[in-house]
Amino acid sequence: MKNIKISLLGLGVVGSKLLDYVRENGSELSRRLEVQLSIDKVFVRDVAKRRAVDVSDLILTNDPYEAVKDGDIVVECLGGSGAQQTREIVLSAIKAQKAVIMSSKKCLALYGREITDAVRENQTYFRYDATVGGCIPVSSVLESMGKCEKINKIYGICNATSNYILDEMQNNSTYASALQKAKEKGFAENDPGDDVDGFDALYKSVILAGFGMGHWIDCDTIAPTSIKSITAEDFCKARQKESAIKPIFSVENKDGRYSCFVGPSAVSRDSILASVKGSNNMIVISSSESGERAFYGQGAGAKPTASAMFDDLVKTIKEIRH
Ligand SMILES: NC(=O)c1ccc[n+]([C@@H]2O[C@H](COP(=O)([O-])OP(=O)(O)OC[C@H]3O[C@@H](n4cnc5c(N)ncnc54)[C@H](OP(=O)(O)O)[C@@H]3O)[C@@H](O)[C@H]2O)c1
């Protein structure tokens, strides 16, 4: 039976949930796939920190390269704003021909071209479903469409925090009270800047264009519009026109010219985008042969994100086995 070692980078909200899933489902997975699966080393910033999960059988290290060295599959769940540090760790893992599963959307959006080039050059495995769309298995959809379809446009709603806040404001809440409610429900982080100002959705749009259209948009060339720019008057006008204001993203390829929009936009109340509520996401893919296809599901939170990573882990083990 083949031994497969997992190196886990990060044991925060997502990493801890993923560890739970591996512990709960690992032996069944090992039996089904005929592998001996283990998590040995885990990279964290502070090895002495009290953890929400039992770490007594794990080796915690504050040296990411030490964790990467011993694993066959490197699962990255790193937080913080250190996209550059994450890039270096991920590239070192790829160059050592480890299979890599990523969750850091900012790092992948900023360095996607370099990372995917390195994956190709080093002929290793790479998965990224946790970076965009939560539980929507969008990478599998994009891979399966690559055969005869040309993807012209990908659009929808991919930020739960902004979606929830705009829905609340549509029902007469102020921005401040809607944000407070979003925090209480766990839809918003303490610092919601990247979410409400559109950067989170921008990173996801760039990743979707990169994998869906083969074109990596430079994040610095796109200025997202913050939902904070929306006023009570905007909601009033939208209501009069039977519309709702939703946090929309869109990337489009028109004859090789790429455009990207991220920001609040009025959509008809009858449209499928208007029906996307709370923490849900919708990704609509428009392609040459099949027209539009829409994918819907929970987009935020530890459970859908860690579940997407667990699915990536299963796919990666199957690839390694074959
Ligand atoms: N939470 C979600 O719903 C969600 C959804 C989709 C994608 N993601 C992505 O998943 C990744 C992990 O998110 P999370 O919510 O699990 O983050 P988190 O709770 O803040 O955990 C981050 C982990 O990274 C470790 N770490 C190592 N170096 C760090 C540094 N320089 N700054 C901050 N943390 C550092 C931390 O170590 P210590 O534990 O020792 O502090 C911690 O274990 C992020 O890239 C996020 O964008 C999250």
Catalytically annotated residue among 105, 106, 204, 315: 204
**In contact, 38 and 6? CB cutoff 8 Å:** yes
CA distance 236 to 233: 5
CA distance 232 to 247: 16
Residue 266 Cα, ligand 1 centroid: separation in angstroms?
33
CA neighbor of 207 nearest in space, from 221, 198, 217, 196: 217
**Pocket of ligand 1 contains residue 98 by CB under 6 Å:** no
**Pocket of ligand 1 contains residue 130 by CB under 6 Å:** yes
- Of the pLDDT bands very low, low, confident and very high (cuts 50, 70, 90), residue 1 is confident
Read off the pLDDT of residues 18-42 as tens digits, 9 standing for 90 and up: 999 999 999 999 999 999 999 989 9
pLDDT of residue 259: 96
Q: What is the pTM of this model?
A: 0.96
Other Cβ atoms closer than 10 A to 27:
11
> Could you identify the atom of ligand 1 that is nearest to the CA of residue 301?
3
Residue 86 confidence (pLDDT) above 70: yes
In b/e form, how buried is each residue of 46-59, taking b as 16+ CB within 10 angstroms?
eeeeebeeebeebe
In the chain, which ranges are E strands? 2-9, 35-43, 59-61, 73-76, 99-101, 126-127, 151-157, 243-254, 257-268, 280-287, 291-298
pLDDT of residue 22: 96
**Pocket of ligand 1 contains residue 103 by CB under 6 Å:** yes
pLDDT of residue 293: 95
**Pocket of ligand 1 contains residue 188 by CB under 6 Å:** no
pLDDT of residue 279: 83
- Of the pLDDT bands very low, low, confident and very high (cuts 50, 70, 90), residue 81 is low
**In contact, 167 and 138? CB cutoff 8 Å:** no
pLDDT of residue 221: 97
pLDDT of residue 301: 84
DSSP 224: P
CA distance 104 to 80: 9
Percent of the chain with pLDDT over 70: 99
CA distance 273 to 12: 32
Nearest CA to ligand 1 atom 35: 79
CA neighbor of 302 nearest in space, from 55, 79, 126, 108: 79
Read off the pLDDT of residues 179-191 as tens digits, 9 standing for 90 and up: 999 999 888 888 8
**Helices of type H across 171-231:** 175-184, 193-196, 199-213
Read off the pLDDT of residues 299-314 as tens digits, 9 standing for 90 and up: 878 999 999 999 999 9
The mean pLDDT of the chain is: 95
Mutate to test the pocket of ligand 1, among 14, 50, 190 (most ligand atoms within 8 A of CB): 14
**In contact, 73 and 127? CB cutoff 8 Å:** no
DSSP 159: -
Does residue 204 carry a catalytic annotation? yes
**Pocket of ligand 1 contains residue 278 by CB under 6 Å:** no
pLDDT of residue 322: 80
Residue 16 Cα, ligand 1 centroid: separation in angstroms?
10
Read off the pLDDT of residues 197-248 as tens digits, 9 standing for 90 and up: 999 999 999 999 999 999 999 999 999 999 999 999 999 999 999 999 999 9
> Could you identify the atom of ligand 1 that is nearest to the CA of residue 82?
31
CA neighbor of 201 nearest in space, from 191, 211, 209: 209
**Pocket of ligand 1 contains residue 80 by CB under 6 Å:** yes
